Amino acid sequence: MQEKLFELIKESLEIEGRELEINDNFRDYPEWDSLGQLSIIAALDENFGVVIEGAEFSKINTLGDLLAKVGSLSES
């Protein structure tokens, strides 16, 4: 799931030429913006069937936290 999630984040934010790390704060990426966030929302729904409520998503900062959240929601 981690590999797939990272691939989706890179596609959504159009990140090229570098690898993502599990402890990265994705909100600090120079590519992070509200348009990219829309793409991430669609990608998580389409690929994992997961929609994270806005209030919850705002508390998630690292890729590790995002991975854990997607993991827990996709199981339920």
C-alpha span between 2 and 75 (Å, rounded): 15
Of 46, 61, 68, 74, the one binding other proteins by CB under 8 A: 46
Site for other proteins in 2-41 (CB under 8 A): 33-35, 37-38, 41
**Nearer Cβ to other proteins (17/54):** 54
Tokens, residue 6: 């990272």
Question: Is residue 75 near other proteins by the rule CB under 8 A?
Answer: no
CB 47 within 8 A of CB 71: no
Q: Say how many residues touch other proteins, by CB under 8 A.
A: 15
